Amino acid sequence: MRRSLNIALVSASDFTGDRSQVSHVRELARALGRPEDEGGAGHRVSVFGRRCSPDANARTRLASGATLFNLAVGPARPLSDDQLLGHVRELTDELRRRWSGAGRPDVVHGHGWIGGLAACAVARELGIPFAQTFHGLAATETRAGRSVHPSRARLERAIGRGADVVLARCTEEAAVAVRLGVPRRAVRITPPGVDVELFSEVGPAMPRGDRERLTVVSRDLEDGSAETAIRALQHVPDAELTVAGGPDREELENDASVHRLTVLAKELHVSDRVIFLGRVPRRSLPRLLRTTRIALGLAPAQPAPTATLEAMACGVPAVVTPSGTNADAVLDSITGLHVPAGRPRQIGLAVRGLLAEETTRRGYAIAAADRARSRHSWERIADETERVYLTIAPEPETLPDPDQDPDEAPETPEPTRIPAPTPEPGRKPEPETEPAPSGSIARALAETDSDLVASLT
């Protein structure tokens, strides 16, 4: 019989939006909270976020068994990482207050480095098993050209080494976590999930002309994916490219990234075949993807974690650079193609060849949809996450049966463990290190902000 747990998920993100981390936490909570009559274990899941709007409810029911608590921490508006760090004291105090009595969870799962920082500190203080998902690490963000807080890498190392287990989203992230100092045996891979009810092959679709449609979905128009796709379009005649991402549609004309990409398309004489849609609401994305022949994920580093999976669930094969979650999600020459980063001519020829081979493309499409449903459904991701929780959550103490012979007591089975990631080829094995005590979090913070140290010691 499966154990029912009291689970706390903690994130400092804005739950009024649809960013990838927020969607992940929300959908994970709903899947973990499935009642027993729906195939779940009846876990009680509490999601702790930060109130980012004056209109946000203090408590919202997400689904059966899952509740979101918006904590009054800091001003009720979105904050940058620098600003959020100044409110970690308040967040730790609020979590400590809620977890010190009857609301004590069996497992705490931190999401993101700032939410994880507060969650790890309180969990270690109260002796609660702690799991961490980073949703991107400073090292990969820097490699992707994004600016990060100067103390982020140091704090990530302290959080990772203070966790009982780190859940990486892909093989690449697992390897980076190990290089960061997290013991290899403490790393598990639980990939992103996709809502296979929303993202499916059947349903309403946007209008489309006679041209074959290629689509880029990107959270950041400066990540290289859209630019490479526009350059590759020169080598794919009669195809059009739709770019979803960036600002709202009303703000496209004033956006610097859109302006730069528009100028590039004009210089390459493909501007009549490039369509900028701006930010497409998540619930509207399936209507776009169902009109797409091939999805493109060409960011050289840190791609949008679920964009390719959502396209695959809609029966769209993907042509991607094998980085981040795309490397694991797309099986080369089975559900799509792997192409080298920054090679627009080679990419364009690969896309052109796939469009010309309708039988091959259709086979990839069928395999893509099947992989998204079977490997990345939220039901499966929740089951794998639950198994990880059970490896760190102690069994509840039970009184011995006075009528039972001690020699006939049933043996306790070994917990199921998800295999640790395989190290990168050619890289020397990292030495196994012992998990750091909770004080290491305070020591890491000591070099950053003395006020924060006081809140975490």
Closest by CA to 135, choosing from 159, 111, 163, is: 111
Backbone angles phi, psi at 358, to 5 degrees: -60, -40
β-partners of residue 7 are 45, 107
β-partners of residue 239 are 212
Provide the pLDDT for residue 430: 47
Hey, what CATH topology would domain 212-376 get? Rossmann fold (3.40.50)
What tokens were used for 195?
């809502």
In sequence order, what are the residues at sequence separation of 6 or more whose Cβ sits closer than 8 angstroms to the Cβ of residue 239?
211, 212, 213, 214, 233, 273, 293, 351, 352, 355
> Whole-number mean pLDDT of the chain?
88
Domains 6-193+392-456 and 212-376 share a fold: yes
Q: Count CB atoms within 10 A of the CB of residue 50.
A: 29
CATH architecture, domain defined by 6-193+392-456: 3-Layer(aba) Sandwich (3.40)
Provide the pLDDT for residue 359: 98
User: What residue segments make up the domains of the chain, in order of their start?
Assistant: 6-193+392-456, 212-376
pTM of the model: 0.86
Q: Which residues of the chain have pLDDT under 50?
A: 399, 402, 405-407, 409-424, 427-435, 438, 445-448, 450-457
Provide the pLDDT for residue 1: 55
Backbone angles phi, psi at 103, to 5 degrees: -85, 10
In angstroms, the CA 210 to CA 273 distance is 12
- 3-class DSSP state for residue 401? coil
Provide the pLDDT for residue 90: 95
Tens digits of residue pLDDT in 365-408: 999 999 999 999 999 999 999 999 999 998 875 545 545 544 45
Provide the pLDDT for residue 442: 58
The DSSP element (H or E) to which 120 belongs, if any, is: helix 113-126
Provide the pLDDT for residue 431: 46
What tokens were used for 310?
């959502």
Tens digits of residue pLDDT in 155-204: 999 999 999 999 999 999 999 999 999 999 999 999 999 999 999 999 99
In sequence order, what are the residues at sequence separation of 6 or more whose Cβ sits closer than 8 angstroms to the Cβ of residue 243?
215, 216, 218, 221, 226, 229, 261, 274, 275, 276, 277
In angstroms, the CA 2 to CA 24 distance is 24
Provide the pLDDT for residue 455: 42
Cβ atoms of 141 and 299 within 8 Å: the answer is: no
The DSSP element (H or E) to which 45 belongs, if any, is: strand 44-50
Residue with tokens 């876990």: 43
β 59-63/66-71 pair status: antiparallel
Cβ atoms of 129 and 392 within 8 Å: the answer is: yes
In angstroms, the CA 355 to CA 38 distance is 41
In angstroms, the CA 192 to CA 24 distance is 7
Q: In what order do the strands lie in the sheet with 274-278?
A: 274-278, 239-244, 212-217, 294-297, 318-320, 336-338
User: For the chain, what percentages of helix, strand and coil (3-state, to nearest 5) are there?
Assistant: 40, 15, 40
